[in-house]
Structure 1
Amino acid sequence: MLYCSECCFQTDVVFDHSTGDAVCNSCGLVLESHCIDETTEWRTFDDSNHDPNRVGAATNPLLSGGGLSTVMAKPNGEVLRGLNNDPDRGLIMAFKTIETMSDRLGLVPTIKNRANEMYKILEDRKWSKGRNLDALLAACLYIACTQEEKPRTLKEIFSVANGASKKEIGKAKEHIMKQLKLSEMTQQEKHTGDYMRRFCSALGLNNQAIKAAQEALHKSQEFDIRRSPVSIAAAVIYILSQLSDDSNKKPLKDIAAVTGVAPATIKGSYKDLSPHASEIIPNWYRIYLSG
């Protein structure tokens, strides 16, 4: 509260932190200018418990000493001595790589954190030695996505990996699952329905089409279709698209782009599914289309 000479009474004051002005809340008169803000200026925030820090990065429990270190330097900028010799340099670089891949895929922080924890275990037990680091990090992220029930296809993970091939990522995934004794729940077959909803949403399908696609995908598991789950999902979407009117049909190239499955593979899967189409497509959806 400050006395305003214009209003002639004590009034509430609004501080403009960009200019340092104290402004009367009633008439807008600048009562004081170039005020000094003496409140705390926070720099970073810890995602886990919202604990703000005055300077430096947030602490990381996966690093020794929380990732805090002190470095002395000469006036010319040359580093003189690091008090802890940065023992976690390799981990820090790996975590940054995982963070970059996560950001490019738009993943939530919990997936990134789980992938970091997974790699930390591999590093501590020396299970990462002699392995392709980029493939190992990509595989950690792939498994973390499925464990957090936000699965991504191997092709999506490959698109953000730093030069690692799909074959290398696949081998790294099998190595991690074997060493950490992970259950089959991390396999993409268990989460194909999640892929289906994401694919349909990306193609702009309505709720009825999404529900029909998920039911058709579940029904297709009763038949011996020797195709990958993602290929079958793409083929199911293609079948539903063929049943729709011209305004709702999705071009094969669009389905291929969203699912990451080659057009030729989708056609092959479509050919395998066609004999069973009458059984896998829900009857209610046929009625919905005819109505």
Structure 2
Amino acid sequence: MDTKHVDWRSMRDESAPAAGHEARQSGDERDEGETETESAEAAVAERTDLVYDEQHGEWVDPETGEILREDEIDRGPEWRAFDAAERDQKSRVGSPTTTMMHDKGLSTNIGWQNKDAYGNSLSTGQRQKMQRLRTWNERFRTRDSKERNLKQALGEVERMGSALGLPDTVRETASVIYRRALDDDLLPGRSIEGVATAAIYAAARQAGVPRSLDEVRRVSRVDKMELTRTYRYVSRELGLDMKPADPAQYLPRFVSELDVSDDVERRARSLLDNAKRQGIHSGKSPVGLAAAAIYAGALLADEELTQSEVSDVTDISEVTIRNRYRELLEATQKSGERAVGSTA
């Protein structure tokens, strides 16, 4: 049988120039494409009227609707949710860090349900094992006395904030204030509960949702004298910017609890503004002035509201309400505004 010898080396050499030409052509086309892309990106970057679609990662011309760039990286989730419950169910990450926990929520917490992932109860041996794991986990979460101090204090802040109906933002601020006091070594000679109570009182005032000393004292584990003394000390040492309490800041909460109309709140606010212009609010309890203003506002609006009802909600005695009411009446008469009836 005849065989034909093929010189593969020569064939490779002959085809090399053609392959090289194609490679150079492909490289030229790629360079040209990259140049065009860079020019397009530069043109997009120079425009300031483009609208960015975060859901699809696209830059859109608002006039023509043309998508000018769509190569943005979408760093959000790949799923969609239409309410908070669905979002929590689909989320695969933990909660964000928070100053309301001593470890900022970074550690793992072992639950106390004694059930497995399918809801089945654990055996006796498994329950004992989980109990030992919980004990060691708690020990590792609070490694030293400072963390144990912080854990106890932030628990108090959370408890009092919940009892006072304060939002999470106020509790976060109170946690930061306590952390600062702990870092600045302000606790020696003072109780953890006292500093925590002072922090929640200061945070509420800073946020414009103040609570009276009596309200805070009722939910705390310290007396009013210790609360006042500790608050002044912490506020002074940390340099907290604490403006005098405004009686008008108490109005929305008291009006809501007394279930009176917006007209009463409007009239009460007007009475307080007039009193502040004349300076009669200086040196007087802002809660007492707010209580008297609401009572006077109800009289002006012809709504039934007794001093006893106002006293129960505001925790201000009826005697104080009557005294502040007369002072508001005198201030109104001096300013020439419409006088409130003399009924007390």
More strand by share: 1
Query: How many Å apart are 1:80 and its aligned residue?
Result: 6.4
**Deviations 1:179-200 (CA, angstroms, capped at 9, x unpaired):** 1112232x32xx3211122222
Q: How far is the alpha carbon of 1:84 from its aligned partner?
A: 6.6
Q: Larger Rg: 1 or 2? A: 2
Match for 2:310 among 252, 255, 258? 255
Distance 1:180 1:220 in 2: 32
- The separation in 2 between residues aligned to 1:253 and 1:282, in whole angstroms, is 27
Instruction: State the distance in 2 between where 1:219 and 1:65 align.
Output: 46
Shift in CA distance, 80/229, structure 1 to aligned 2, threshold 3 Å:
closer
CA distance 1:271–1:155, shift in 2 (3 Å):
same
Q: Does residue 234 of structure 1 match 2:291?
A: yes
Q: Give 1:113 deviation, angstroms.
A: 0.8
Q: Provide the rounded CA distance (Å) in 1 between the counterparts of 2:175 and 2:286.
A: 28
- What is the one-letter code of the residue matched to 1:68? S
Task: Note the C-alpha offset of 1:100.
Answer: 0.8
Q: 2:326 aligns with which of 244, 253, 271?
A: 271
1:1-291 matched pairs, under 5 angstroms: 52-53=93-94, 59-60=97-98, 63=102, 68=107, 75=129, 77=131, 79=135, 82-83=139-140, 86-87=143-144, 88-162=147-221, 164-185=222-243, 187-188=244-245, 191-221=246-276, 222-224=278-280, 226-245=283-302, 248-279=303-334, 283=338
Shift of 1:227: 2.6
Residue 77 of structure 1 and its aligned partner are, at CA, apart by 4.6
Would you say the 8 A contact 1:98–1:116 is kept in 2? Answer: yes
Q: Deviations over 1:103-151 (max 9, x none)?
A: 1112111111110111011111111111132222111001111212222
Instruction: Indicate conservation of the 8 Å contact 2:205/2:242, yes or no.
Output: no
How far, CA to CA, are the matches of 2:193 and 2:259 in structure 1? 34
Structure 1 pair 51–111 and aligned structure 2 pair: CA distance change class (3 A): farther
Structure 1, unmatched stretches of 5+, are: 1-46, 287-291
Name the TM-score, length of structure 2 as normaliser. Answer: 0.58
Does structure 2 conserve the Cα–Cα contact (< 8 Å) formed by 1:60 and 1:66? Answer: yes
Residues 153-172 of structure 1 deviation map (CA, whole Å, 9 limit, x = unaligned) = 2222112112x112211111
Which protein has the bigger helix share? Answer: 2
Question: How far did residue 102 of structure 1 move?
Answer: 0.9
Supply the distance in 2 between the matched residues of 1:120 and 1:51 (Cα, whole angstroms): 30
- For the 8 Å contact 2:288–2:320, the answer to whether it is kept is yes
CA positional deviation for 1:255? 0.5
Q: C-alpha separation between the residues in 2 aligned to 1:255 and 1:204?
A: 11
Contact 1:143 1:173 in 2 (8 A): yes
RMSD (Å), alpha carbons: 3.2
CA distance in 2, matches of 1:281, 1:229: 24
Distance 2:198 2:214 in 1: 12
How far 1:241 sits from its partner (Å)? 2.9
Residue by residue over 1:38-78, the C-alpha shift from the partner in whole angstroms, topping out at 9 and shown as x without a partner, is xxxxxxxxx9xx8833xxx875567458652799xx85955
Native 8 Å contact 1:59 1:68 kept in 2: no
Listed as ranges, the gaps of 5+ residues in structure 2 are 1-87, 111-127
Residue type at the aligned position of 1:176: V
| Conserved? CA contact 1:115–1:144, under 8 Å | yes
**1:40 is matched with which residue?**
none
Over the matched positions of the two proteins, sequence identity in percent amounts to 23
- Report deviation, 1:201: 2.4
Q: What is the count of residue pairs matched by the alignment? A: 227
What residue number does 1:37 align with? none
Name the CA distance, whole Å, in 2 between partners of 1:281 and 1:232: 20
Q: CA deviation at 1:232?
A: 1.6
The answer to whether the Cα contact below 8 Å between 1:196 and 1:233 also exists between their aligned partners in 2 is: yes
Match of 1:18 in 2: none
